[in-house]
Amino acid sequence: MVIAEVADFREAARRRVPHFLFEYIDGGSYQQVTLGRNVEDLADVTLGQWVLRDVSEVDPSITLFGQRLSLPLVLAPVGLAGLNARRGEVQAARAANVAGVPLCLSTVSACTIEEVAAESGQPPWFQLYMLRDRGFVTAMLDRAKAASCPALVFTVDLPVPGARYRDRRSGLTGAPGLSGQLQRLGQALAKPGWCWDVGLRGRPLTLGNVAGVLGSSAPLSDFLGWLADNFDPAATWKDLEWVRSQWSGPLIVKGILHPDDARAALAAGADGIVVSNHGGRQLDGAMSAVKALPGIVDTVGGDLVVLADGGVRSGLDVLRYLSLGADAVLAGRPWVWALGSAGERGVAQLIAMLDAELRAAMALTGETRLAAGSGK
């Protein structure tokens, strides 16, 4: 099929990966109202158009936390992403590194921090959850340090998992034990290309960073159950201060939707925040990042690097977020769809597409340089 826009990667991935994986990446929580708002509210952002400004040379590069990026984009952390292609996070990180943008590796990635750092050319950013087992958290921080991860993204909007009906229906979470395994196996066998490339050649099929807790042979449902049982609903801002004391590099707090929480992140020692509702995967009915962003920028924009995610489906959407005051943008589902559709080549194609679309949008609005990404 012809890939002309992000939606085409989504369709290509739907055709290639098992149903339960596609549903996990694609879906939101409850009735998916917030998932829809992220896309719709972003599409409603109006851009100014100025003409006759000599836009023959457009440069979308920025500096973020001391790192030069070719465009104001970070591939967002997405759990299970690496199961969409053989050693998927390694492939995605290679494409990102060649393109000059970071990939942020999820705690629940298929590939370990060490594998991605060693095989992709340079270390990824790393995303961390606060779990009940502080020893595990400390060990993950130590591994991220040892791998020279340049930034830590601490996700705070998942004290308990949201209800994801699509995951229950697909058999990812709703069918325990042997029945769930058989349901997922049937869906996998229906995608022979994925079975050969990932199911057979991509082993071990585990969540690499947490495999040591349950053992490499534990089924996927065991990992998901362990995570659900170990997210810490008692975590507070004091825990963020503790993470700050353990991590000397850039610390970015992901999951901020209110100016008061942005102030609290600043007080706890964060260097940046991500204005985010977890891609509509947690609290359905929450405000979109687009609606939350301006008030947060007004509150802490001079003191924190403000990133945003949710609903990005084009390079034009990247510029929309920047026009509201974001320093850079995270995109999650698009790169996983691209990975599922064509592996490293798909992710490279996606980044090139977003780059070209952003450059065109900048030119059409009369901009040749970005003020974003001051590198605070």
- Mean pLDDT for 347-353 is 98
Q: d(Cα 69, Cα 73) in Å, to the nearest integer?
A: 8
Q: d(Cα 19, Cα 191) in Å, to the nearest integer?
A: 9
**Confidence check: pLDDT of 63 > 80:** yes
The predicted structure's pLDDT at residue 220: 63
Q: How far is CA 158 from CA 57, 120, 129, 155, in A?
A: 42, 29, 8, 7
- pTM listed for this prediction: 0.95
Ranges assigned E (strand) in the chain: 62-64, 67-69, 73-75, 104-105, 125-129, 152-155, 251-256, 272-275, 305-309, 328-331
**Is 333 known as a binding-site position?**
yes
**Do you find a cis peptide bond into 72, omega within 30 degrees of 0?**
no
Task: Supply the residues annotated as catalytic.
Answer: 278
Q: How far is CA 188 from CA 20, 110, 119, 198, 257, in A?
A: 9, 17, 27, 10, 37
Q: Name the burial class of residue 32, with classes exposed (0-12), middle (13-18) and buried (19+) by CB atoms within 10 angstroms of its CB.
A: middle
Q: Which of 37, 79, 68, 109 is nearest to 276 (CA)?
A: 37
Q: d(Cα 361, Cα 321) in Å, to the nearest integer?
A: 12
Is the CB of residue 105 less than 8 Å from the CB of residue 77?
A: yes
Q: Please write the tens of the pLDDT for every residue from 107-150.
A: 989 999 999 999 998 999 999 998 888 888 999 999 999 999 99
**Is 59 known as a binding-site position?**
no
The predicted structure's pLDDT at residue 208: 79
- What are the residues facing 129 on neighbouring strands? 155
Q: d(Cα 364, Cα 71) in Å, to the nearest integer?
A: 17
The predicted structure's pLDDT at residue 144: 97
Q: Give the containing element (helix H, strand E) for 353.
A: helix 333-364
Q: Please write the tens of the pLDDT for every residue from 3-30.
A: 999 999 999 999 999 999 999 999 999 9
Domains in the chain, CATH or no CATH each: 6-364 (3.20.20.70)
pLDDT range class, residue 218, cuts 50, 70, 90:
low
**Is 313 known as a binding-site position?**
yes
**Confidence check: pLDDT of 375 > 50:** no
b/e burial code for range 134-143 (CB count within 10 A of at least 16 → b): eebbeebbeb
Q: Cα 115 vs. chain centroid, distance in angstroms? A: 19
**Is 346 known as a binding-site position?**
no
**Is 311 known as a binding-site position?**
yes
**Is 133 known as a binding-site position?**
no
- What are the residues facing 67 on neighbouring strands? 64
In the chain, pLDDT over 90 holds for what percent of residues?
Answer: 80
Q: Please write the tens of the pLDDT for every residue from 47-56.
A: 999 999 999 9
Residues in the chain: 376
**Is 58 known as a binding-site position?**
no
Q: d(Cα 316, Cα 110) in Å, to the nearest integer?
A: 31
